[in-house]
């Protein structure tokens, strides 16, 4: 009998190819006769190109062509309100307008990368610079979001009967906490630089690139190139990280495809690391003000969350940090959410792991910790006293929620009972020791997906869907799910993804790929087993020809009935079939979606040490317990949760790209100056999941967890720092200069 791999520790099926260097990433595909492109970028923040001299570049060795405003690529400006316009609302190289510093203004194509790079340095540009709006200072004029849902959830005010306003509800509260927060620019910093190889065959183009959404990429590229989506194929066999940066197609793909069409030969374009920092979307700046009103025992009476987020004039992700966090987490009779944008002349923004939730949770969960201090209620107990059993405001039931168990299990595993409420109470020599905690929440997204399951005559199976594995382990999830449902070993299942020609798959974003794909694989496996049974009783060459299909059963890769058994491979061989395929589309039923709120939940517990003399903060212990439905692969789940927590530690302590307000330059746009956590910054992280299948989500009861670990973990670090030092910081990152003796937290105003 085959033991199901579901929920076990399963090695990645592509692991060997990756660690041995055999795995081909975007720029690795061996394409004959490929030319190399290099991007020239603007050096002013806003203005017009008066002149561009490309003569020296064109005369340089190996140069094939220089494309720019005077010799453009025939790209199409996306129509307002379309998905393509959401990424960037103009077409690169099509005009002389400079919208931000680091914008692509020309592309040099040569026989080698080095020749293209060196020639690009010979392009000289004369600008007419204009004054740029670059600052998101507190009190900046903002605009109300004008975007379709769910991108822009409406402002929200819910008041108890007889309460006239949120201000009145706060004024009637016995304890009020108010805090203003600032969070700076952050970047995805995926290991693989953004790159693309474009190969045309007649009127169709194949683009090899890193993508989190192969099918969507074909649509976006088609819109930019002015061709039908069916004329674009996107291949992303391996993707070296994304974290949101590869949900959309950026200018690496667009310019490579445009240049290859003009040149009439394949073109490879690999962005430099600095170009990735500017031309690829990032997490934008945001200011928040959170106000909490409660009884003296800590029961919430009013919650208010206002946010002003950066929205570049060129377009990008509309950061709405109160969405899906403050409106979903705690029970309160009075709730107010107001979200605005501040238009700026900066590079495009885009979704980054926990796009709204990570910034929103830092503000909310820090304010909750301040409420715990103000009321004298333990932070875990405070959250239990305000536990929401239904969605605040709507009253809809959660599909499954065991957050209270996460709090209790996490507190026990971490040793929370040893925490001392008074700051600076625990010391070890020159180190101040503190503990903090916070809540994690992330939407339990699921989208329509088609998956294919094919039984092969050699007793193997192929599971396919046009989604992407950017290192999250989805390839292995396909293999595990197929093996589980077909009752065969994982080694006999070949998973296929990363190609837009496969059955339409999920976007590997919003923690939905596993939750969306697993139900379709389960359904397709059931359908192919039904087709196998039908084949067995209808094909004259089958030993069960003419039998009643109800007398046949399928288990562990074989059909059984009438006193005989036969593997599906042997049956297919007997009837002369190479394979048998079922492709099945599933989605969450509309009735279920309307009835329930779908979220995953978690609880973070953190211990830090802060040097009393230097202010240096160090995370020394971290425990996370989550409720994310059933886990498909324990090994991958652990990896994703640990990675999410590391993201939060980086958000809390390290990540910032300072903006030069006189030039518009993001000054730390390289891997030397932009700080991310390394091994020396991270302790052993204890992660645990409840493994409670969600009965409403479908399939195996799986919800996403890839982003859950990021949400709230920065707040847990900040709350622990307060417990250690008595210093409360609302401006990230919390660097040692902000924790030096005599530092003034009152000076932490929300400015860039």
E strand intervals along 482-598 = 493-496, 553-555, 558-561, 564-567, 579-586, 596-597
Q: Which ranges of 2-129 would DSSP assign to H, the alpha helix? A: 15-19, 55-59, 83-87, 113-120
Site of tokens 């059931």: 526
Are residues 227 and 258 in contact, defined by beta-carbon separation less than 8 angstroms? no
Comparing CA positions, the residue from 71, 74, 34, 36 lying closest to residue 54 is: 71
| 3-class secondary structure, 109 | strand
Length of the chain: 752
Site of tokens 């809390």: 652
Look up residue 389 and give its two tokens.
């059993």
Look up residue 371 and give its two tokens.
């409420």
Are residues 254 and 224 in contact, defined by beta-carbon separation less than 8 angstroms? yes
Look up residue 649 and give its two tokens.
């530690």
Are residues 457 and 572 in contact, defined by beta-carbon separation less than 8 angstroms? yes
CA atoms within 13 A on the CB side of 124: 3
The C-alpha atoms of residue 237 and residue 229 are separated, in whole angstroms, by 20
The C-alpha atoms of residue 46 and residue 663 are separated, in whole angstroms, by 9
Q: What is the set of active-site residues? A: 707
The C-alpha atoms of residue 95 and residue 264 are separated, in whole angstroms, by 23
Site of tokens 């709006």: 133
The C-alpha atoms of residue 671 and residue 659 are separated, in whole angstroms, by 16
The C-alpha atoms of residue 719 and residue 713 are separated, in whole angstroms, by 10
């Amino acid at each position: 009998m085959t033991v199901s791999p579901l929920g076990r520790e399963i090695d990645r099926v592509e692991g060997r190819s990756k660690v041995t260097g055999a795995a081909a990433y975007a720029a690795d595909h061996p394409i004959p006769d490929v030319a190399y492109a290099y991007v020239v970028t603007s050096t002013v923040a806003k203005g017009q190109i008066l002149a561009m001299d490309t003569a020296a570049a064109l005369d340089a060795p190996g140069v094939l062509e220089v494309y720019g405003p005077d010799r453009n690529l025939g790209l199409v400006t996306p129509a307002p309100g379309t998905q393509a316009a959401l990424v960037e609302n103009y077409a690169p190289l099509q005009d002389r307008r400079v919208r931000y510093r680091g914008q692509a203004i020309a592309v040099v194509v040569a026989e080698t990368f080095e020749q293209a790079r060196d020639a690009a340095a010979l392009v000289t540009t004369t600008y007419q610079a204009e004054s740029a709006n670059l600052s998101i200072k507190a009190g900046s004029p903002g605009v109300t979001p004008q975007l379709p849902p769910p991108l822009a959830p409406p402002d929200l005010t819910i008041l108890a009967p007889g309460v006239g306003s949120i201000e009145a509800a706060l004024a009637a509260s016995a304890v009020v906490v108010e805090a203003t927060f600032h969070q700076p620019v952050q970047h995805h910093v995926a290991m693989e630089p953004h790159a693309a190889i474009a190969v045309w065959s007649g009127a169709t183009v194949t683009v090899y690139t890193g993508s989190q959404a192969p099918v969507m990429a074909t649509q976006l590229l088609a819109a930019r190139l002015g061709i039908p989506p069916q004329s674009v194929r996107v291949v992303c066999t391996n993707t070296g990280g994304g974290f949101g940066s590869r949900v959309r197609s950026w200018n690496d793909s667009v310019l490579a495809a445009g240049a290859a069409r003009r040149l009439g030969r394949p073109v490879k374009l690999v962005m430099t690391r600095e170009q990735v920092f500017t031309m690829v979307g990032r997490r934008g700046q945001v200011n928040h003000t959170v106000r909490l009103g409660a009884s003296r025992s800590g029961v919430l009476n009013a919650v208010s969350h206002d946010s002003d987020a950066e929205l570049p004039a060129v377009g990008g992700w509309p950061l709405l940090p109160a969405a899906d966090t403050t409106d979903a987490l705690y029970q309160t009779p009075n709730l107010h959410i107001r979200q605005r944008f501040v238009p700026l002349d900066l590079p495009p923004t885009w979704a980054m792991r926990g796009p709204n939730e990570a910034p929103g949770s830092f503000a909310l969960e820090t304010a909750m910790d301040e409420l715990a201090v103000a009321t004298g209620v333990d932070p875990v107990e405070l959250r239990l006293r305000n536990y929401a059993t239904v969605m605040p405001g709507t009253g809809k039931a959660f599909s499954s929620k065991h957050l209270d168990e996460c709090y209790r299990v996490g507190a026990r595993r971490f040793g929370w009972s040893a925490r001392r409420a008074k700051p600076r109470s625990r010391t070890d020599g020159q180190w101040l020791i503190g503990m903090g905690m916070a809540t994690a929440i992330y939407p339990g997204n699921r989208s329509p997906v088609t998956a294919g399951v094919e039984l092969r005559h050699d007793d193997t199976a192929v599971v396919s869907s046009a989604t992407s594995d950017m290192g999250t382990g989805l390839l292995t999830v396909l293999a595990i799910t197929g093996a589980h449902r077909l009752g065969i070993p994982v080694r006999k299942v070949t998973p296929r993804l990363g190609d837009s020609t496969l059955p339409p798959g999920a976007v590997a974003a919003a923690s939905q790929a596993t939750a969306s794909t697993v139900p379709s694989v389960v359904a397709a496996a059931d359908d192919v087993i039904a087709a196998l049974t039908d084949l067995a009783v209808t094909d004259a060459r089958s030993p069960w020809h003419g039998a009643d299909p109800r007398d046949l059963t399928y288990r562990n890769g074989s059909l059984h009935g009438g006193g005989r058994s036969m593997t599906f491979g042997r049956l297919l061989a007997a009837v002369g079939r190479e394979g048998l395929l079922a492709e099945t589309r599933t989605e969450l039923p509309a009735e279920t979606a309307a009835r329930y709120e779908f979220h995953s939940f978690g609880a973070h517990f953190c211990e830090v040490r802060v040097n009393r003399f230097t202010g240096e903060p160090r995370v020394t212990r971290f425990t996370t317990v989550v409720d994310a439905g059933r886990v498909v692969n324990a090994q991958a789940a652990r990896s994703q949760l640990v990675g999410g927590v590391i993201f939060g530690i980086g958000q809390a302590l390290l990540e910032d790209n300072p903006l030069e307000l006189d030039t518009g330059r993001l000054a730390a746009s390289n891997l030397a100056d932009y700080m991310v956590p390394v091994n020396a910054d991270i302790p052993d992280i204890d992660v645990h999941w409840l493994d409670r299948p969600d009965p409403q989500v479908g399939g195996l009861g799986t919800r996403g967890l890839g982003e859950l670990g990021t949400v709230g973990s920065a707040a847990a670090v900040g709350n622990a720092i307060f417990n250690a030092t008595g210093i409360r910081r609302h401006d990230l990152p919390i660097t040692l200069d902000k924790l030096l003796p005599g530092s003034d937290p009152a000076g932490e105003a929300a400015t860039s």
